Amino acid sequence: MAQGTGVSLHDRAVLNSESTAAHGAVSTFDADAAALTRPTVATGAVGFRALKSTSDFATVGNDAWDALISASTRRLYGNNEVIYLQEEPAQHLHFVMSGHVRLSYVLDDGSAILYAILPVGASFGELGVFDGGVHCDMATGIGATIVGSLSAAKFNELCGRFPQLQDCIAHLIARRYRSYVDLTRLMSLKTLHGRVAQALLRLADGLGSKEDYDGHAVPRIGPMVTQADIGLMARGARGSVNRTLKAWERAGWVVSRDRAILIVDRRALETVAMEQDCDG
């Protein structure tokens, strides 16, 4: 049981999954009800060497990468299936091989704050592995997701053979820490508009996807990100997020295309977030 609450970690995870499914929601601004239950299909399996170029271990040699892959196991997770629970002992380093992974912090009442949505190649679970502690967040699959996992003991053994792996994990932890600081700033913004603007920028930067719009490559937040996800990150109801996105679409700041969100005026969103930060 979590300290100070009668809600177990498992129950909190279930509450969070049910809450996300209930909000269900879609990333288009005017989607039909059928989209609420439309399954997300995982991307095709990525070749192991091709995966290296997009991973947090892109700078290591091929021998180190091959050893990392050979020592890992792979598992397919369903939509909203728990990969690990918050406060569970951290025994494995994980990385996304196909699909996407949602990282959330579960509060004592079962509600959640969305921390990040990870694309193919991203690693997670490294903090607990590094210090031999517990997971400080909860990880769940989005759609059908293939996750590679490597035991902490095996990873430490490989670090002895390939020191460059230690450098990669150190840089990953530094980026994670900086990201936590940025999330704290996002949560401190007083208005929903400011928080939604910052959430969109955070998600777009984390996913790293681009799409052509009017002859320019603009940030793209794919349909795996729902308005409920944006609300969980921005601390707002889905309906409020929907109204905000519609207003920004009318202003020409964002565009809805094929259930994805295109950020066509990044500076406008940055200005909204910055103004709210300064007002605070």
Asked if residue 119 lies in contact with residue 209, where contact means CB atoms within 8 angstroms, the answer is yes
Q: Do 174 and 59 share a structural domain?
A: yes
Q: Do 68 and 173 share a structural domain?
A: yes
219 Rama sector, left if φ>0, alpha if ψ -120 to 50, beta otherwise: beta
pTM assigned to the model: 0.78
- pLDDT computed for residue 23 by the predictor: 39
CATH number for the domain harbouring residue 271: 1.10.10.10
Residue with tokens 């592995």: 129
Q: Do 207 and 146 share a structural domain?
A: no
- pLDDT computed for residue 17 by the predictor: 47
Last residue of a domain, one of 142, 162, 186: 186
Looking at the structure of the chain, the number of domains it has is 2
- pLDDT computed for residue 278 by the predictor: 54
Task: In whole angstroms, give the CA distance from residue 186 to residue 12.
Answer: 24
Q: Do 157 and 107 share a structural domain?
A: yes
Residue with tokens 């021998």: 63
Q: Do 151 and 86 share a structural domain?
A: yes
Q: Which domain holds residue 50?
A: 39-186
In this structure, is residue 139 part of a structural domain?
A: yes
Asked if residue 224 lies in contact with residue 119, where contact means CB atoms within 8 angstroms, the answer is no
Note the pLDDT tens digit of each residue in 211-268. Answer: 999 999 999 999 999 999 999 999 999 999 999 999 999 999 999 999 999 999 999 9
Among candidates 94, 99, 169, 98, which has minimal Cα distance to 137? 94
Task: In whole angstroms, give the CA distance from residue 84 to residue 229.
Answer: 19
The mean of the pLDDT values for the chain is: 82
For CA atoms 204, 208, 209, 215, give the dihedral sign: positive
Q: Do 177 and 64 share a structural domain?
A: yes
- pLDDT computed for residue 276 by the predictor: 58
Note the pLDDT tens digit of each residue in 16-74. Answer: 444 444 333 333 444 432 333 333 333 333 457 778 888 889 899 989 998 998 899 99
